[in-house]
Amino acid sequence: MNTTNEQAHGRNEIEDLLPWLAAGTLSRRDAQRVEEALARDPELARRYEMVREEFADTIHLNETLGAPSARAMEALFAKIDAEPARAPKASFNIGMRIAEFFAGLSPRTLAYAASAAVLAIVLQAGVIGGIVLNEHGGAGYETASAPSTAPGVGAFTLIRFAPQASVDDINRFLESNKFSIVAGPVPGGLYRVRVAETELPKADLNAIVKKLQENKLVGFIATAK
Amino acid sequence: MQTTTDDVLIARIASGDRLAMQVLFARHHVRVYRFVLRLVRNEATAEDLISEVFLDIWRQAGKFEGRSAVSTWMLSIARFKALSALRRRPEEELDEQTAERIEDQADDPETALAKKDKASVLRKCLSGLSAEHREIVDLVYYHEKSVEEVAEIVGIPQATVKTRMFYARKKLSELLKEQGVDRGWP
């Protein structure tokens, strides 16, 4: 096939699809192909206008055909009533049941269901994560490179991180200062953070808090017991 | 407001839900009627046929596997019923030559054009197409069926669907030309 023939072939193939483009029933890929051809070929675009006229007038013609009388529905239900009673189906289509179930839910119910599903996934992830950590000898949640220490031992602060602080920022902050989160977040977005592995004199702990108040990642900090 | 999908209605109909049948009928009967009417060209016959079409849907709902849209399945049944009805009364079937000719030939093309706008001439010519061509034009333009769906309803290969649509449009252009409207195509 020479180039001209190939072009002619491609043109016909594209032109054949114009009625479906007008009706909006082409696949996205085909529609894009036809639209690109229309953009570069004025003659094809002129023919597409013809197709659009046919499309509009076919709809108009069909819409003027009227509708059947109530007789059609009456006849149908008279025949249905005369049918033998239908026994309940022994088997059921599980796919259809699921489709029916979801179709019956309101958008609000679906949103609640989705939230519940997300929560269930998060909880499941937490449980699995906990099992994995325990299997690897971890005592629980640890952050950065903080050593594992008994929860009640050390010096503690309550910190609320700045809203713009990312998880990476917080991890780096904890790692560089050898801090670890031992609890939280509690209401108010506060975390209980161990700032020393041994108990510190009050003045020393206040000095740490004062220093950390200057850190842009820290939105709020206070000493904790 | 949320509407129940056709697939769900069919599942309910399969279990004998009469209300689901009423909803499906209300949703589709006008389009099915128009599709049948364009084929059989007789309103009373078309009305009788749509009750038969929906009775078949009532009976066969349990066998519907959802491989195609419910509307595509319904139009397949409607087409089968319409063609069977036409075969039962061949003496009433329009002669193809007559069907393809435009009925109102009293005016010459110029007068016809002067009297009517291009759109009404086009609609008249659409009515003058053969049953086979009317069917494909309606399925594509009015019933918004894809190439694959038309192939399924009519029972022909997809390539034939495109070819048939092309020849239907070509015939339409010829009829328009006879009426004094030269579209410069094909």
CB-based contact A19 B140, cutoff 8 Å: yes
Partner A contacted by B95 (CB < 8 A): no
pLDDT of residue A60: 93
Among candidates B62, B163, B172 on the partner chain, residue whose Cβ is nearest the Cβ of A54: B172
CA–CA distance, B141 with A54 (Å, rounded to integer)? 8
CA–CA distance, A73 with A71 (Å, rounded to integer)? 6
Partner B contacted by A16 (CB < 8 A): yes
Task: Tell me the whole-structure pTM to 2 decimals.
Answer: 0.62
pLDDT of residue B20: 95
pLDDT of residue A11: 47
Please tell me whether residue A39 adopts helix, strand or coil conformation.
helix
pLDDT of residue A191: 84
A72: amino acid identity, one letter: A
Strand partners, A218: A161
Mean pLDDT per 10-residue segment, chain A (225 residues): 45 89 96 96 94 95 93 94 73 58 63 69 67 52 48 83 81 87 77 88 88 85 83
Taking only residues 11 to 70 of chain B, the set having a beta carbon closer than 8 angstroms to any beta carbon of chain A reads 11-12, 14-16, 18, 21-22, 25, 29-30, 33-34, 37-38, 43, 46-48, 50-51, 54-55, 58-59, 62, 66
Taking only residues 119 to 138 of chain B, the set having a beta carbon closer than 8 angstroms to any beta carbon of chain A reads 119, 122-123, 126-127, 137-138
pLDDT of residue A127: 66
pLDDT of residue A1: 40
pLDDT of residue A85: 77
- Assign residue A48 a region: left if phi > 0, alpha if psi is -120 to 50, beta otherwise? alpha
Order the strands of the A190-196 sheet from edge to edge.
A180-186, A190-196, A155-161, A218-224
State the residue for tokens 């939280």.
Answer: A184
Q: Which residues of chain B have pLDDT under 70?
A: 1-2, 90-116
The phi, psi pair for A220, rounded to 5°, reads -150, 145
Residues in chain B with CB shorter than 8 Å from the CB of A57 are 119, 122-123, 126
Nearest to A191 by CA among A169, A164, A162: A162
The phi, psi pair for B86, rounded to 5°, reads -65, -35
Helix axis angle for A3-16 and A42-63, nearest 10°, is 20
Partner A contacted by B111 (CB < 8 A): no
Closest approach of chain B CAs to the CA of A103, in angstroms?
A: 6
pLDDT of residue A139: 45
pLDDT of residue A81: 93
CB A68 within 8 A of CB B46: yes
Element (DSSP H or E) covering residue A206: helix A202-213
pLDDT of residue B118: 79
CA–CA distance, A141 with A130 (Å, rounded to integer)? 8
Closest approach of chain B CAs to the CA of A20, in angstroms?
A: 7
